[in-house]
C-alpha cells in the first residue's frame, strides 16, 4: 500500500495536528512530551538526535528513543541532525518503527551545529542538501518539496538570530513559503499565548504552530491556560516518577524554566535547586517555592505586583528575552564621550570607514599580527565516534558525551573529562557502590527561513 504523502500524510498519520511541541535538545524527553500532551499538544518531536551516533551506538539508540516508546506518546516525530545522506537513511531505518515520521534538522544555528556541519549550516551547501532530501527562503523550501519533503517547519528567523539576538520571527516569510509549496507547513516563532497560535495560523495560513520556549515556560499554553507554576511542576515530577529513567539534568532544567520568574526573587532556593541531587530534592525545593508564593498571595496585592510582569510571578507565563546591550553603554549609562571617540578612532585607523567593515575585518584591524587564515589555523581533532570536537585530554579520543558512555560501559576512568567510574567501582569494595544500572519512512524538515 502506498504511503500517504503531503496533506494526506498530515491528516492521517499526524492526525491533522495543529499544536506542536518543538524538538528541544535535552528538554523534549518522554516525560515532558506526555505532560504537554495532557495539556493540549497534538504532536511532539523527540530531542534532536545525532544520526551518526544513532547508527553506531546501540546504547544511544536505547537511551534516546527505544526506551521511550509509549502508546500515549503518538503521533511522534524523531528529529536527526546529519550531513551524510547514507548515514541519515540508516538512522531513519533504525528509528522508523518507533515513531511516525523522520525530521531532518536544517534550522539549528548553534556553534555545535557549525562545528559538526549540520542544521542551518547545511543551507550553505545546496548540492549536499539535495543529496539528502533536497532549496533562499521560498526557493529553498520548494527545493525541499521537490526532493520529497512531506511537511516543512519554518522558524522565520535567520541563522544569526539566536541568544540575545533572537528577535522577532518574520511571519511574512512563513506566509510566503506556505503560499509557494503544496505540502503542509508548520510555523515557529513569536508564540507565547494561545491567541498567538490562532493569530499566526490566520496570518500565515499554516496547518500547525510549533512552540519551544513558550511551551517550556507554560506547558498548558495550547490549552489557553496560565496555571500556577507549582501545579505544572508537581504534575511533571509525578510523570517523571511514573516513567523512569529521566536524566536529573533534564528535570532540573525544566523546573528552572517553570520557576524562572520566581527564582529571580527567591535566590536562595535557586541555589538549593542547583544543588539538588535527586528528584526528591527537586520536589522539596518546589514545595518550598509553592509555600512562599502562597504566603505572598495572602499579603496585600501591591507587595507582589512590583515585578513588572503581566501576571504574578508564580503564574506560568512567557519569558521575554532582554534586548542586546548597547555597546556604548555601561550598566545602563552612556559611556564617556572620550571612550566612544577612542573606540571609533581605533576602527577608523583601519582600511576604510567603520560602517563598511565586516566584523572579521574589524577584528583584523584590531589584531594586525594575528593569524586569521583558515588554512593556517590548527584543525580541531574530531571525536572518533560522532565527529564533534574531542576532549583535548580524553584518554579515549572522544567528546565528553561519547567518553561518558564508553567509560560507564567499560567501568573506566578518564581524567581529562573528570570521569571516575573505575575508581568508584574499586571504592565500592570498601563500602561505596556503583550502580549499572526506508520504504516506510516519512520525511519532514525543520528549517530556518534562510539567508534573507
Give the Cα separation of 197 and 19 in Å (integer).
8
**Residue 49 in contact with residue 64, Cβ under 8 Å?**
yes
The three grid cell numbers given for residue 186, joined into one nine-digit string: 508548520
Tell me which residue of 108, 152, 146, 109 sits closest to 130, measured CA to CA.
146
Q: Which of 44, 108, 149, 414 is catalytic?
A: 108
Dihedral of the alpha carbons of 404, 405, 410, 412, in degrees to the nearest 10: 0
Strand-pairing partners, residue 204, are none
Give the Cα separation of 71 and 339 in Å (integer).
63
Distance set, CA 448 to CA 123, 125, 188, 189, 404 (Å): 9, 15, 9, 10, 32
Neighbouring C-beta atoms of residue 424, cutoff 10 Å: 15
Sign of the torsion angle spanned by Cα atoms 220, 225, 229, 233: negative
Give the Cα separation of 248 and 294 in Å (integer).
27
Residue 20, SS3 per DSSP = strand
CA within 13 Å, CB half, 100: 23
Give the Cα separation of 13 and 8 in Å (integer).
8
Distance set, CA 438 to CA 58, 94, 95, 110, 137 (Å): 19, 9, 10, 29, 28
The answer to whether residue 108 is catalytic is yes
Distance set, CA 220 to CA 130, 336, 344 (Å): 38, 47, 49
Give the Cα separation of 316 and 312 in Å (integer).
9
Q: Residues of 8-28 as b/e, b for ≥16 C-beta within 10 angstroms?
A: ebbeebbeebbbbbbbbeebb
Longest dimension (CA), the chain: 75
Give the Cα separation of 151 and 148 in Å (integer).
9
Q: Which residues are catalytic?
A: 108
Amino acid at each position: 500500500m502506498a504511503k500517504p504523502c503531503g496533506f494526506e500524510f498530515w491528516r492521517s498519520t499526524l492526525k491533522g495536528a495543529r499544536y506542536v511541541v518543538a524538538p528541544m535538545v535535552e528538554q523534549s524527553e518522554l516525560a515532558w512530551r506526555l505532560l504537554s500532551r495532557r495539556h493540549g499538544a497534538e504532536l511532539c518531536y523527540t530531542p534532536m538526535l545525532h544520526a551518526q551516533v544513532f547508527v553506531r551506538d546501540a546504547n544511544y539508540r536505547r537511551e534516546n528513543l527505544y526506551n521511550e516508546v509509549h502508546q500515549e506518546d503518538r503521533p511522534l516525530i524523531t528529529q536527526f541532525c546529519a550531513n551524510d545522506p547514507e548515514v541519515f537513511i540508516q538512522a531513519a531505518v533504525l528509528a522508523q518503527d518507533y515513531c511516525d515520521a523522520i525530521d531532518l534538522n536544517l534550522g539549528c544555528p548553534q556553534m555545535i551545529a557549525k562545528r559538526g556541519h549540520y542544521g542551518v549550516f547545511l543551507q550553505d551547501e545546496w548540492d549536499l542538501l539535495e543529496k539528502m532530501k533536497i532549496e533562499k527562503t521560498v526557493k529553498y523550501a520548494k527545493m525541499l518539496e521537490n526532493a520529497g519533503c512531506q511537511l516543512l517547519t519554518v522558524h522565520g528567523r535567520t541563522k544569526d538570530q539566536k541568544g540575545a539576538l533572537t528577535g522577532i520571527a518574520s511571519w511574512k516569510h512563513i506566509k510566503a513559503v506556505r503560499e509557494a509549496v503544496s505540502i503542509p507547513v508548520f510555523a515557529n516563532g513569536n508564540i507565547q499565548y494561545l491567541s498567538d497560535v490562532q493569530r499566526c495560523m490566520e496570518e500565515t495560513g499554516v496547518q500547525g504552530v510549533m512552540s519551544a520556549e513558550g511551551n517550556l515556560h507554560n506547558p498548558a499554553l495550547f490549552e489557553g491556560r496560565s496555571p500556577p507554576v507549582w501545579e505544572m511542576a508537581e504534575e511533571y515530577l509525578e510523570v517523571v516518577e511514573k516513567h523512569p529513567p529521566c536524566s536529573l539534568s533534564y528535570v532540573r532544567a525544566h523546573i528552572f524554566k517553570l520557576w524562572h520568574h520566581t527564582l529571580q526573587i527567591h535566590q536562595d532556593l535557586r541555589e538549593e535547586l542547583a544543588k539538588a541531587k535527586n528528584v526528591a530534592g527537586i520536589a522539596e525545593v518546589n514545595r518550598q517555592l509553592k509555600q512562599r508564593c502562597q504566603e505572598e498571595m495572602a499579603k496585600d496585592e501591591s507587595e507582589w505586583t512590583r515585578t513588572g510582569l503581566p501576571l504574578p510571578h508564580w503564574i506560568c507565563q512567557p519569558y521575554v528575552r532582554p534586548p542586546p546591550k548597547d555597546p556604548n553603554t555601561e550598566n545602563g549609562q552612556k559611556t564617556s564621550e572620550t571612550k566612544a571617540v577612542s573606540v571609533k578612532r581605533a576602527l577608523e585607523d583601519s582600511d576604510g570607514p567603520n560602517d563598511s567593515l565586516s566584523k572579521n575585518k574589524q577584528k583584523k584591524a584590531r589584531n594586525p599580527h594575528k593569524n586569521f587564515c583558515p588554512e593556517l589555523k590548527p584543525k580541531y581533532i574530531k571525536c572518533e565516534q560522532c565527529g564533534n570536537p574531542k576532549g583535548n585530554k580524553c584518554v579515549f579520543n572522544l567528546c565528553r558525551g561519547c567518553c561518558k558512555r564508553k567509560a560507564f560501559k567499560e567501568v573506566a576512568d578518564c581524567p581529562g573529562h573528570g570521569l571516575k567510574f573505575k575508581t568508584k567501582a574499586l571504592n565500592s569494595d570498601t563500602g561505596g557502590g556503583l550502580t549499572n544500572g526506508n520504504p516506510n519512512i516519512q520525511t519532514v524538515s525543520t528549517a530556518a527561513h534562510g539567508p534573507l
